[in-house]
Structure 1
Amino acid sequence: MYLVQLLLPLNDNGGQRLSGALFQEVREELVARFGGLTAFSRAPVEGLCQDEARRAKDGERLVCEVMTGALDRARWDGYRHRLESAFRQREIMIRAQPTARR
């Protein structure tokens, strides 16, 4: 099993707040595909990254997690590219780690 985490920004690269409908669409798609999801939405996490000019930029993130038996990297890469376009981002982080259901 794998735990897959999607770190979704609350604002686009220009600093504009993203529509709640966009997040709802992601939630519905993940639940339909994986049968459930955990979203850490009460207290968004904050992340820091360096931009091209090596300045630190921060941003709030919503973390969504799903469990999957197999990890189809090509499918996740395609989904990440779709999310980057929809969320108007240069990069969206999706990470996966092996896990066991107990």
Structure 2
Amino acid sequence: MAALVEILLPVSRNMGSAYGNIRKQLAEKFGGVTFHANAPAEGLWKDGEVTKTDQIIVVEVMVDEIDREWWRRCRQELEAAFEQDEIVFRATPIERL
């Protein structure tokens, strides 16, 4: 089933080449990618009693099938590159109209 895969990347001023690399990799593998980079979103989450915040870029890719192993490796690579404990990847089934 077709799906929209979203990646929530942290905004980082010194990671320009990492953004370019992931953009190129996803575009080549899936035929296209959308980066919502001009208007970063604000993320909030609770860490115990402390509310933390950061800015994120939403990356979207439409896929015909979800290769969970490929996406797992991609997530691990991005977590290492951005020095994050977790980068959220999510997939939503879609119907192309």
| TM-score w.r.t. length of structure 1 | 0.88
SS at structure 2 position matched to 1:21: helix
SS at structure 2 position matched to 1:36: coil
| Residue in structure 2 matched with residue 6 of structure 1 by the alignment | 7
Cα shift at 1:101: 1.2
| Residue in structure 1 matched with residue 68 of structure 2 by the alignment | 73
Q: Deviations over 1:20-48 (max 9, x none)?
A: 11111110010001000111111100101
Q: Is the 8 A contact 1:47 1:60 kept in 2?
A: yes
Moved >6 Å (runs of 4+): none
Gaps spanning 5+ residues in structure 2: where? none
| Residue in structure 2 matched with residue 41 of structure 1 by the alignment | 37
State the distance in 2 between where 1:38 and 1:20 align: 16
Q: How many residue pairs align between the two structures?
A: 96
State the distance in 1 between where 2:5 and 2:72 align: 12
State the distance in 1 between where 2:31 and 2:49 align: 40
Identity over aligned residues, as a percent?
Answer: 41
Cα shift at 1:89: 0.2
| Residue in structure 1 matched with residue 95 of structure 2 by the alignment | 100
Q: Is the 8 A contact 1:6 1:65 kept in 2?
A: yes
Aligned equivalent of 2:53, options 58, 68, 73: 58
State the distance in 1 between where 2:31 and 2:14 align: 25
Q: Deviations over 1:62-95 (max 9, x none)?
A: 0010010111112211110111000100000000
| Residue in structure 2 matched with residue 14 of structure 1 by the alignment | none
State the distance in 2 between where 1:45 and 1:37 align: 18
State the distance in 2 between where 1:25 and 1:59 align: 22
SS at structure 2 position matched to 1:18: coil
State the distance in 1 between where 2:14 and 2:69 align: 26
Q: Kindly report the root-mean-square deviation, in angstroms, between the aligned alpha carbons of the 2 structures.
A: 1.1
